[in-house]
Amino acid sequence: MSIRVLVVDDSGFFRRRVAEIINGDGRMEVVGSAANGREAVEMNASLQPDVITMDYEMPVMDGITAVRTIMQQRPVPILMFSSLTFEGARVTLDALDAGAVDFLSKNFDAIAKGTTEIRKTLTDKIAAVARKQSRVVTAPAPRRTEQRSLNKTELVMIGTSTGGPAALQTLFKSIPGSFRTPIVIVQHMPGSFTKAFAERLNGMSPLTVKEAAEGDVLKPGHVYVAPGGMQLMVDKRGGGSIHIHESDQRVNYRPSVDIAFASAAKHFGRSTLAVVLTGMGADGKEGAKLLKKSGSVVWAQDEESSVIFGMPLAVIKEGLNDEVLALNDIGPRLAKELG
């Protein structure tokens, strides 16, 4: 059965091009298009699509208001189109808070040309969130393992992608100001987004949250968000520090969870706790292998609480996880074990 998609944008040209890309994929079809948020709410009720693509700046009713209304009336996975600016980041984060599951760059040139990359990015994300809705993916039974002591943990590394912003906000609401272990977050985001996201986390957490910068010293009670478009590595010399590097364009993810995890495996070894949260793909799996070889503890988010189970599932399938935890349990466990 085809994935039914509703396209929402006030630009007729953009709606047509997005519809052409979606209809060109045999897995899905566009069942309707709306020019503003109010039409989107009405068509969501009447057409009952499986996924909605949504612009945020529209007349009559803006995209964020539409997302909130849809989540109240008939929840459905929503992908936001976003401008890659600092203000665009703030608006997109508001949309994710309202219930959207992920975002894509609103690149008129790429959409107009219908490049292979934009086609694949758009259709793969639609397929991924639709699978979540229908629960096609099923995880293997978690391995039965004894809980390992975390009393020698010096660093917490968190890797995530799709669904990560909302998941991280949920997690940090449970971590008290008394938490002293430095935390490094690697969230797949564009470069213009990570500063705004760090500021948002900082505003809701008693911990100090900042976008990581070259030479940052890993301090107790501090959280460092890897800058988008770059690669973050940690180093234990000098008491623990962060290094930011230009990314090789051949690396799929910028920042990459694998690269950050690998550096923690090399420099912190068994004193690392790695947490793999919701996300599309398998970034983090190879880094988790190196962490396990070094004696680190690895937690994975469970399927039920993941927006997209790809990243945690990749770790679980390889038997790299020590525990599988629901999102609502991760923060309290961190607070209990390391607080």
CATH architecture observed for domain 3-134? 3-Layer(aba) Sandwich (3.40)
Which positions are annotated as active-site residues?
Answer: 161, 188, 283
Task: For 57-74, write each residue's pLDDT tens digit.
Answer: 999 999 999 999 999 999
Q: Which is more confidently placed, 310 or 105?
A: 310
pLDDT at residue 262 is higher than 90: yes
- What's residue 136's pLDDT? 42
Give residue 267's pLDDT band: very low, low, confident or very high (50, 70, 90).
Answer: very high
Q: What is the pLDDT of residues 169-202, one digit of tens each?
A: 999 999 999 999 999 999 999 988 999 999 999 9
Predicted local distance difference test score (pLDDT) of residue 25: 94
pLDDT for 118: 82
Mean pLDDT value across the chain: 92
The per-residue pLDDT for 46 is 98
pLDDT of residue 112: 66
pLDDT of residue 114: 65
Burial of 110 (0-12, 13-18, 19+ CB in 10 A): middle
Pick 155-338's CATH classification: 2.60.120.620, 3.40.109.10, 3.40.50.180, 3.40.50.300: 3.40.50.180
Q: List pLDDT tens digits, range 98-147.
A: 999 999 888 767 676 667 888 888 999 999 899 765 544 445 555 545 56
The amino acid at 102: D
Of the candidates 270, 313, 263, the residue with the CA atom closest to the CA atom of residue 295: 270
Model-level pTM?
Answer: 0.90
For residue 272, give every residue at least 6 positions away whose Cβ sits within 8 Å of its Cβ, in sequence order, or none: 153, 154, 155, 156, 157, 264, 265, 291, 294, 296, 297
Least confident of 29-43, 92-106, 143-157, 214-228: 143-157
What local confidence, expressed as pLDDT, does residue 144 receive? 47
Closest CA to 185 of 334, 337, 336, 339: 334
Domain ranges of the chain: 3-134, 155-338
Arithmetic mean of pLDDT, 158-179? 95
pLDDT band at 301 (very low <50, low <70, confident <90, very high): very high
How many Å apart are CA 190 and CA 330, to the nearest integer? 26
Q: Do domains 3-134 and 155-338 have the same CATH topology?
A: yes
Six token digits for residue 283 = 């970034």
Single-letter code of the amino acid located at 277: L
